[in-house]
Amino acid sequence: MPATLTGLDLRIAFLYGAEMNIYGDRGNIIALTRRAEWRGLAVTIEQVGIGERLTPGYHDLYFFGGGQDKEQIAVAADLARRDNGDKGATIREAIEADAVALTICGGYQLFGHHYRPHNGPELPGIGIIDVTSEAGPDRFIGNSIIATPDGDLVGFENHSALTFVGPGAAPFGTVTVGAGNNGRDGTGGARYRHAYGCYLHGSLLPKNPWFTDLLLTQALARRHGPVELPPLADDLERAAHNSAARRAWATR
Ligand code: GLN
């Protein structure tokens, strides 16, 4: 282990882990933790749920997974509450101060301005990533690939919402297999500073190790400055990535 990583720690907030954890999204927390611990880092994970407070400025990385509309309604209501702190403002300030976020599907939608379901009122999001989402006529289900400037991401999408990226965010990449944000404009996911959102479940990070390491590097830099993560063997991770990508292309 290089001396530069000795004694460093990483603080992860798992937002609404009880409600928003569909299609193996918790595996993203496991991948982040393992790849950090294999480099000798100490990792703290705090699951923050409905009615609970987020400590301002504490966390390096926020993870927010997907869920059904029913869970999203409860979570959106909690995000709008002010009697236990303002979680949206806390996360917004953190992102402006170089914290990292990974948001998937329902969590991605609630990191945007709003999600309009088929039935019922619009759910307000916390507006960190400049995207809006609304339920569409079809459900997009299947393996998906997003080509980003740093590499391909492969995962599994299952959403009915159409998400549109506004000028305050950048598409995370181009969707080469699957529907991506909306099945129309070819974009996949979105990013603002170090906050990323996309529709890829599956879990995403175990089979996309380069992205896991990018998130870890950015999250560590917030309090510890630039770090270089020593490479890992990654044979299994690469095999998982290639096999998922092959399946995605084959079922396109
Ligand atoms: N309810 C949202 C949709 O269908 C989110 C789904 C999810 O998080 N898997 O678009």
Report pLDDT for 1. Answer: 41
Whether 118 is a known active-site residue: answer no
Instruction: Give domain limits for the chain.
Output: 9-250
Is residue 127 classed as helix, strand or coil in its secondary structure?
coil
Q: Measured from the CB, is residue 20 less than 6 Å from ligand 1? A: no
Ligand 1 atom with minimal separation from the 20 CA? 8
C-alpha radius of gyration, the chain, whole number: 17
For residue 133, the cross-strand partners are 115, 163
Count helices and strands in the chain by DSSP H and E runs: 6, 11
Report pLDDT for 200. Answer: 98
Compute, in angstroms, the gap from residue 125 CA to the centroid of ligand 1.
14
Cα–Cα distances in angstroms (integers) from residue 6 to residues 1, 54, 216, 222, in the given order: 8, 27, 15, 16
pLDDT by 10s per residue, the chain, length 252:
444 687 899 999 999 999 999 988 999 999 999 999 999 999 999 999 999 999 999 999 999 999 998 999 999 999 999 998 999 999 999 999 999 999 999 999 999 999 999 988 999 999 999 999 999 999 999 999 999 999 999 999 999 999 999 999 999 999 999 999 999 999 999 999 999 999 999 899 999 999 999 999 999 999 999 999 999 999 999 999 999 999 999 988
Q: Whose CA is nearest to atom 1 of ligand 1?
A: 69
Considering only CA atoms, which of 137, 74, 63 is closest in space to residue 105? Answer: 63
Compute, in angstroms, the gap from residue 102 CA to the centroid of ligand 1.
16
Q: Name residues whose C-beta falls within 8 Å of residue 191's C-beta, 6 or more positions apart in sequence.
A: 129, 169, 170, 171, 172, 197
Count the alpha carbons within 13 Å of 168 in the hemisphere toward its beta carbon.
Answer: 10
Q: Whose CA is nearest to atom 3 of ligand 1?
A: 159
- Please give the CATH topology (third level) of the domain spanning 9-250: Rossmann fold (3.40.50)
203 cis-preceded (ω within 30 degrees of 0): yes
Ligand 1 atom with minimal separation from the 139 CA? 4
Query: Tokens 């403002």 label which residue?
Result: 89
Whole-model pTM? 0.97
Q: Measured from the CB, is residue 200 less than 6 Å from ligand 1? A: no
